Amino acid sequence: MPRLAKIYIALFILLMIAFTYNDANKPKPVNWNPSFKSNDKEPYGLFVFKNELANIFPNKNINSIGSTPYEYFNTVFYTNEHNSDSLFNYVFINPNIEIDPPSLRYLMDFVHSGNNIFISSESISQEIADSLHLELSYEPAPKIKIKDTLSIDPLEVDEPIVKMTFADPNFDAETYTYQKTIDNHFISKYDTLNTKVLGYQIVNKKKKVNFIQTKYGEGNIYFHTQPYIFTNFNLLKTANAAYASNVLSYLPIKETLWDDRAVIWAQTIGNPLRFVLSKPALRWAWQLAILSILLFMIFRAKRRQRIIPIVEKLPNTSINFAKTIGNLYHQEGKPEDIVHKKINFFLEHVRSNYLLDTQNLNDDFKRRLQIKSGVAKIEVERLIDFIVKLSKQKEIGENSLALLDNMIYNFYEQSQNYLKIKT
């Protein structure tokens, strides 16, 4: 390997080591991506909430479910023996909840038999909305500038302000104020006969329903429109933690089934490369290895590449062929053959490009050709009249051939200019 190449590779490796060291020692930025994973300690994970469930439902089991409700009820729940008086809470917390139709049927039967379901989501599928007889709406909340102190470089950002309160007079009249990520998602329609309003949210002095309890059979369905209040970021604030605890206080103290499928999906590593790229240190090592291999291949190929022979360009014989054919006709001294061929080629061009019948070259044909080609009327009439005249002559001179060639050339040129202007 040349000395210069070795120097370049050494410099590259030193730079990569410096970048890696700098990246490993700089403060890790806050990950604001909403994960809603029960094992995630980032701002929008549910680690704190999952651990607080034991205090909200004391002396009761909290069972995580890593499959669809259909699979769980078929393979676990109904196959285990439960006391006849054992009732459960089923908890969903996610900004967008999709439940397949078989799972939804099992859940509705689960509630009808006396159990409870708690759902906190900003949006749900149409099937769930139809089953709960409700409709969700959204109106952008007014935003104000607040200082984001959790980022590495504090800056002012626009955030909406949403206040929440309860309908039950047994709770105090305090309102709970939320800013980051909480927006104006609310319940606009619900079954008034079987539904009890439990809470509201206030945006710009407008009160909207955000928490309801719907009676279904022997059980209840609790629906809340603000899943972000249960994330780590909001639960670490004392007042907000109190609001989340009060929301869940409506659920009876029963065994609880926690829909934890978000964790299962996140932990499923489809291939080893996905795991490597998910870890910063392994990702840097992988990128360094790829770049090193590329550099090695470039310099190695430069040393071993064979000499590529120069292939001369093949001569263009089309012009020579045309000259030879022209000389043959000239030597024969019969320009009428060329004239007839030119006329036939021109008429074929008219038939192919303008879809005109060339049997009768009358005034109507001239008019249509002029309209479609865009060539001046006088030019079209002169050319067609000259073609008719030459078609009737037995002997044609070279001057007539030259004139016909010039007229056809002008026709082609004018029609092409017209086509460019038209397009």
Percent pLDDT > 70 in the chain is: 76
Q: What is the DSSP string of 23-86?
A: HHHSPPPP-------TT--STTS-HHHHHHHHHHSTT--EEEE-S-HHHHIIIIITTS---TT-
Q: Pick the closest to residue 1 from 306, 303, 305 (CA basis).
A: 303
Q: Which two tokens stand for residue 142?
A: 């007014």
pLDDT at residue 152, rounded to an integer: 45
pLDDT band at 313 (very low <50, low <70, confident <90, very high): confident
Q: Which of 54-63, 139-148, 401-410 has the lowest mean pLDDT?
A: 139-148
Kindly report, residue by residue over 244-276, the tens digit of the pLDDT.
Answer: 989 999 999 999 998 887 544 444 445 566 666
pLDDT at 330: 59
Count the Cβ atoms, other than its own, within 10 Å of residue 316.
Answer: 8
The per-residue pLDDT for range 225-245, each reduced to its tens digit, is 999 999 998 888 777 888 998
From residue 374, give the alpha-carbon distance in Å to each of 124, 359, 417: 61, 21, 9
Residue 243 to residue 249: CA distance in whole angstroms? 10
Instruction: Kindly report, residue by residue over 16-42, the tens digit of the pLDDT.
Output: 677 666 665 666 667 778 888 888 888
* Tens digit of each residue's pLDDT (9 = 90 or more) over 92-123: 999 988 888 889 999 999 999 999 999 999 98
Compute the distance between CA of residue 219 and CA of residue 213 in angstroms, rounded to an integer: 10
Structure tokens at 206: 């407008």
| CA–CA gap between residue 167 and residue 185 (Å, rounded) | 18
Structure confidence at residue 84 as a pLDDT band (50, 70, 90): very low
Residue 125: is it exposed, middle or buried by C-beta count within 10 angstroms (0-12/13-18/19+)? middle
Q: Which residues of 376-396 are buried (b: 16+ CB within 10 A; e: fewer)?
A: eeeebebbbebbeebeeeeeb
Helix (H) or strand (E) segment spanning residue 328: helix 318-332
